[in-house]
Amino acid sequence: MTSTFRALGLAIAMLAADPVMAAPVDDLHAILKDYDRYTDEADPIEAGQHGNLAAARLWPDDSPAAVQARRKQLESFRDRLKAIPAGALSGEDALNRDLLADRVALDLDGFRFDEERIPFTSDEGFFVTPAYMAEATQLVDKAQVDAYLARLAAFPAYYDRELANLRRGIETGWTQPRITALAASKTTRAAADLPPEQSALMEPLDKLPTTMPDAASLKAQGLEIIRTKVKPAEVKVAEFFEHEYLPKARETIGASALPQGREYYAYRVRRETTTDLTPDQIFDLGNSEIARIRKAMDAIIAETGFKGSFKDFQAFLRTDKQFYVTTREALMEKASRLAKRVDDKLPQYFGKLPRLTYGVREVPRAIEEGYTSARYNPGSPEQGIAGGLMINTSHLDQRPLYELPALVAHEGVPGHHLQIALAQEQQGVPLFRRRDDITAFVEGWALYSEQLAGEIGLYSTPYERFGLLSMEMWRACRLVIDTGIHWKGWTRDQGVACLKDNSALADKNIQNEVDRYIAWPGQALGYKIGELKIMELRNRAQAALGPKFDYRSFHDAVIDEGVMPLNLLERRIDKWIAEKRG
């Protein structure tokens, strides 16, 4: 036995023999185990998709009693983490503690605002959750079907809890703006008017394996539950929005207009960016980025030889038929082809790739009207469900092809699918690290991926490179629009003008996007803040390592440990740089 192995064996023996040394690690592991259980209980949809049959019978519970119970659990986690002596942990244990402490502190800080009073945005919410759940559900045995039928039967109680939250919001002056409520009213009415057979909740039952005993009977049971329980609940919610919520929705659009509004928005900024940047600093940063990107756009316009003003070039891009397809299928084919082109290059830029694949799918027709241009739906390695690059195929005259490469890179690979699937497949880490969704990291990585796709060679024409800049301008404008609306008192028209004047986005996208920022304060800020930090860290690494810098190693260092706040990511990359320098 070498001296190194003898020393290692002695250290392990000392740790096992010394309860003072072992206790902090044991305490942390117990906390992590308890927090994983807490995570499953708080989000039964996510837990069910990853094989938890007990959770698969349930809907989320955001009633005041359930929320207070979660608050007490989080306070306990906070106190237990604080009881572990500083410096008692190292390596992965220290990282787990830091990540969990940050997550718990942010969640606890948010309880004072009772956000459950507004359980929806312009294209998200409790009434859209069932469709997402169904799209990501695969039933392969009788136990899973039984759990699914039990969940369907519990549907009315789920909607009743959310109606109680919404009514509490009306009573306390915490409502969405009228423009957001109107979108929710249209979505809920469309769902209520669908025949039971066309309900999104029938999709998993329609796909039951033909070899499953009593498949026809089980499908009939599900349809009957949807007819007698789900449909009445959907009608009830649609009528609530039409007759109760819309008349009470506020006319103001900024979060600052809510009770505790400015304090609430400052919290949302901190949560979504994981930084201490103020709304005013972010507003100034956005204007700086707009000026930088606009200069790069002008250079590409000159390259194309186009004669005319910036506004003329925008009009050309928004109207010329060469940039648009005329069928849904053609748009899906274009997106699929782009996705495979990126797949072909990934091993050159990443040392570690996920096992889970992804598909290119259409956004369901029932929700496409207010839906963004594209989005990613996570898959489930446990359930054998691939990730989904969702493409909105409605309003084809508003879906320009020069934007499509950046969208595919962002929502598919090397963006969301690559990062999220790798996080899901992490081994030996707590559950929350496999599922965490910090906006500044997740969306920052996806926006960085749009830039990386250019280095991979995805943008074939000056128009596609202009489309990339237009997409980046979109995220830079978000910094200005979001803080402008929620902090500085901007109107909706001012937000629309920022995107119309500076990007090539189609009008439909611009309208949907500004409405999204109105409905979801702060979330839009994380994209650009995260992308700028990742690019800053890459530039730092390239300067420090010179010829030793390697894309594959750097990208693995950024995403291999999963999602984390930007300050912890910076600490990790600085350590990686030091190790590489040797």
Distance (Å, whole) CA 209 – CA 186: 35
Alpha helices in 488-522 (DSSP H): 492-502, 507-519
Say what the pLDDT of residue 8 is: 41
CB 271 within 8 A of CB 565: no
Say what the pLDDT of residue 22 is: 63
Say what the pLDDT of residue 339 is: 98
Name the 3-class secondary structure at 120: strand
Q: Tell me, rounded to whole angstroms, the distance of Cα 138 from its chain centroid.
A: 22
Per-residue buried b or exposed e for 183-206, using 16+ beta carbons within 10 Å of the residue's own CB: bbbebbbebbeeebeebbbbebbe
**Could you say which residues of the chain have pLDDT below 50?**
1-17, 19, 21
Cβ burial of 108 (10 Å; 0-12, 13-18, 19+) is middle
Say what the pLDDT of residue 367 is: 77
Say what the pLDDT of residue 508 is: 86
Alpha helices in 214-260 (DSSP H): 215-225, 231-240, 246-248
* Closest alpha carbon to 118 in 155, 156, 68, 168: 168
Q: Quick one: tokens of 515?
A: 């409405």
Say what the pLDDT of residue 234 is: 98
For the whole prediction, is pTM greater than 0.85? yes
pLDDT tens across 300-356, in order? 999 999 999 999 999 999 999 999 999 999 999 999 999 999 999 999 999 999 999
Alpha helices in 346-461 (DSSP H): 404-411, 416-424, 431-435, 439-456
Say what the pLDDT of residue 86 is: 80
* Domain segments of the chain as ranges: 11-42+63-117, 129-251, 264-531
